Amino acid sequence: MEYCPYGDLKSYFSNPISECEARNICLQLLDGLAVLHSLSIVHRDIKPEAFFEESPIIVKITDFGVSKRALEGQTEPRTVCGTAGFMAPEVLHLLDDTKEDSSFTSAVDIWSLGCLLYYLLTKQTPFSKYELLRDYAKGRTAFPGGYLKENHVSHQGRKFIKRLLDPLPEARPSASVDLISDWATETTEESRGSEPPSPGDADPYGSFFGDPENPAQPLINDTLWPDPFDATLRGRESSINDAMDYFSTELWNFVKSAQVFDRDSTVKLQALFTTNPIPSPNRLHNGYTALHIVSESASAEWVELLLLYGADAKIRTEPGRETSLQLSTFKGNLEEFMKKSKLLLAIRAVRDDIDAQNSSGDTALHLAIARLGTVPAIQPLLEAEASTNIKGRQGRTPLLYALYLEQEAVATALLDKDSDPHALDNHSFSALHYAVASRTISIQFIQRLLDAGVDVNWKDEDGHTPLYLAAQKNKQEVMRLLLNHGADPELGNSRLNLRISQIQYAAKVGLKSLWPF
C-alpha cells in the first residue's frame, strides 16, 4: 500500500469532526466495503486505527489481520475478534446466549461502521461498557443518541447511524454507495418537525458553515434548505435548475475567493457538496469552471476533491481555450504542479487531449517549459506521450521554446524524446540559430545539433546564418566549430567578415584564441 502521510483516522482527527466530513468518509468506506463483501470477505475489525488518510479527503482501508472469507457451508466467521466498543452484538453472542459457536455475516462490518461514525462525530463509542451493549441488543434500552445530539448531528445523520446499529444483523443495510443517499440534507416536513429550528433557519440561504463550538450557529446539515420540489417557492419546471445554479454559483465564488487552502477551508469546500441539489463543478462563469480556478491557483487537494465530485477536466476556459492541465502550470510551483498533473493525467480524457492548444497555440508542454523550466516538470507530460513537435506561439516547438529560454537541460530531454532538430519558427530561426544566439547554451549542445544534421548555412528571414550570429556575438569557439562543419564564411558584412578571416588565420597558424576584436 502507498504511504499515507496523514496517519489513521484516530490520530488525524483529534476532535469530533463535522457531519459533512463524516458523510464523505462514510461514502468512501461503503464503497470499499461493498467491494470486500462482494468477494465474501468480512473485515471483522472496523475501527479508527484501521483506516488511513492518503490525503485530507481520501481514506484507505487497512488492517486485514483478522479478515476472513465467508463462504456459506465452507468457511464461516465464528471467532470472537475485533476491538472493544466496535464489535457487533452477535460477535459477542448477545443475540442468542445458547449458541456459543454461531457464525456471523458481513453485517458485523456494517455495525462497526456505525460505531466508527459515532466515534468520529462525538469521540465517544456508543457502547462504552459491555452491559450497555448487552441491554441495547436485548431491547432493554433505547438507541444512545445523546452524544450525537450534543455534537449537533442532524436528525437524518442520527437516523442513518441508528440504522447501521440495528441489533438484528438481518435488519442492517448492505454495504452500497447508494446507501449514503439516506444521509442527506434535511428538506422534508418530517425532519423539520423533529427538532426545534435553529436560529439560522429563518434565512434558508443563511450561513453555509456552522461553528461546532457555537450551537447558535447552524451546521450545514442542520440548515433548512428550501425544498426544490415545492411549487410554492418556484415554478415546478425551473426549481431544480434554479437551486442548482444557486449552489453552483456559491461553489464558484468560494473557490474563487479562497486565500488559504488549509484543513478548515477544505472542510468548508466539502460542505458545499452536501447541499440538495449538489452543485455542479462544471458551470462556466466568467469563462472558468471551479476546476479551472483550483487548477490554476489552489492546492492539489482541492483539485482532487473537485474531481471526486465529478468535475470535468475536458472543459476549456473561454475565450482562452485553456485546459485544467495547462492551468496547473500557472503558479510555477513544481511540487504543486507534479501533484496536480498526476491527478489530471490519471484521467484518460486528459491524456487523450494532452496536446490541446490554447488560443495562443501553446500546449501544456509549452507552458510547463515557460513557467517551470525544469526536466522534472516536463517528465510527466513526456511520459504521457505529449508531442514534442507542435508549434505554439511564434511558431516555436517545445525544443525551440526551451532554447529561446536558454533551458539546455530541457532542450536535451526533448531531443532525447525525438523532438525535431530541423524545425523552424515563424521567422525561419532554426534550433542552431537559437543555440548560437544564446548566452548559456554549451558548445557541446551546438555540436549535437550539427551531428543531427541541422543545416549550418540555413538563413533566417533576415538572411542571417548561425555563423553570422556567432560572429556578431564574437563567439570564437562557436565560429571555429561552424566553419569546421562547412559554414559559408561570406556573411555580407565587412566587419563580421574580418572576424571570420581572423578566426581562419588563427586556425591556420595554430592559435586557439585571439585577442578580443
- The model carries a pTM of 0.56
User: Among residues 69, 68, 103, which one has the least CA distance to residue 88?
Assistant: 103
Q: What pLDDT score does 62 carry?
A: 57
Contact (CB, 8 A) for 431 and 417: no
Q: What is the pLDDT along the chain (517 residues), one digit of tens a residue?
A: 454 444 556 556 778 988 888 888 888 888 888 888 888 788 777 777 655 554 445 666 655 444 444 445 444 444 545 688 889 998 888 876 434 444 578 899 899 999 999 999 999 999 988 889 998 988 888 899 999 999 999 999 999 999 999 999 999 998 887 788 888 644 333 333 334 333 333 332 233 233 333 333 333 333 333 333 343 333 434 444 444 577 888 899 999 999 889 988 999 999 888 877 788 999 999 899 999 999 999 999 999 999 999 999 999 999 999 999 999 999 999 999 999 999 999 999 999 999 999 999 999 999 999 999 999 999 999 999 999 999 999 999 999 999 999 999 999 999 999 999 999 999 999 999 999 999 999 999 999 999 999 999 999 999 999 999 999 999 999 999 999 999 999 999 999 999 999 998 888 877 666 555 5
Q: What is the CATH architecture of 9-193?
A: Orthogonal Bundle (1.10)
Angle among Cα 117, 291, 57 to the nearest 5 degrees reads: 20
Regarding beta strands 68-69 and 41-42, do their DSSP bridges make them parallel or antiparallel, or are they unpaired? antiparallel
Q: What pLDDT score does 444 carry?
A: 98
Domain boundaries, the chain: 9-193
Burial tier of 190 (Cβ tally within 10 Å: 0-12, 13-18, 19+): exposed
250's grid cell: 456559491
Cis omega (within 30 of 0) for bond into 277: yes
Contact (CB, 8 A) for 176 and 31: no
Torsion sign (Cα): 194, 196, 198, 203: positive
Burial tier of 121 (Cβ tally within 10 Å: 0-12, 13-18, 19+): buried
Q: What pLDDT score does 203 carry?
A: 31
Cis omega (within 30 of 0) for bond into 319: yes
Angle among Cα 380, 385, 388 to the nearest 5 degrees reads: 95
Q: What pLDDT score does 466 carry?
A: 98
